[in-house]
Structure 1
Amino acid sequence: MNNRFMGSLGYRLQPKSDVTDRYHPKRQATTHRPEPLRGLLGGAANELSQLVARAGRLERLRQRLKGRLPAELSGHCRLANIRGDTAVVSCDSAAWGARLRYLEPQLLDALNRQEGLSLRRVRVKVLPHTAPPPPPPVPGHLPQLNEANADLLEATARGIADAGLSAALRRLARRGRKS
Structure 2
Amino acid sequence: MSRQSAHRGVPPPATPAAPRRPLDAAGGTELGPLIARARELDELDRRLRGCLPTPLADHCRLGNVRDDRLVFLVTSATWSTTLRLHADEILSAAQALGLPGRILAVKIVSKQPVDVKQKPCLPLSGFARESLKAAAAGVSDPGLKAQLLKLSEVP
Task: Write the letter of the residue equivalent to 1:127.
Answer: V
Q: Secondary structure at the match of 2:45?
A: helix
Task: Write the letter of the residue equivalent to 1:119.
Answer: G
- Give the TM-score taking structure 1 as reference length: 0.52
- Aligned-pair identity in percent equals 31
Structure 2 counterpart of 1:118 = 100
Structure 2 counterpart of 1:128 = 110
Q: Hey, what's the Cα distance between the residues in 2 that align with 1:49 and 1:130?
A: 26
How far did 1:64 drift? 0.4
**Structure 2: stretches of 5+ with no match in the other structure:** 1-24
From 73, 90, 93, the counterpart of 2:73: 90
Structure 2 counterpart of 1:62 = 45
RMSD of aligned C-alpha atoms? 3.5
Describe the shift of the 1:174–1:122 C-alpha distance in structure 2 as closer, same or farther (beyond 3 A): same
Cα distance per residue 1:131-152 (max 9 Å; x no partner): 42554362673696866xx58x
Describe the shift of the 1:50–1:176 C-alpha distance in structure 2 as closer, same or farther (beyond 3 A): closer
Structure 1 counterpart of 2:147 = 172
Q: Over alpha carbons, which structure has the higher Rg?
A: 1
Task: Write the letter of the residue equivalent to 1:172.
Answer: Q
**Structure 1: stretches of 5+ with no match in the other structure:** 1-37, 158-166
Task: Write the letter of the residue equivalent to 2:68.
Answer: D
Describe the shift of the 1:127–1:169 C-alpha distance in structure 2 as closer, same or farther (beyond 3 A): same
Q: Hey, what's the Cα distance between the residues in 1 that align with 2:145 and 2:122?
A: 24
Higher relative contact order (CA 8 A, sep 6+): 2
Cα distance per residue 1:76-98 (max 9 Å; x no partner): 11111112211111112222222
Contact 2:51 2:89 in 1 (8 A): no
Q: Secondary structure at the match of 2:46?
A: helix
Q: What is the total number of aligned residue pairs between the two structures? A: 120
Query: Which structure: greater strand fraction?
Result: 1
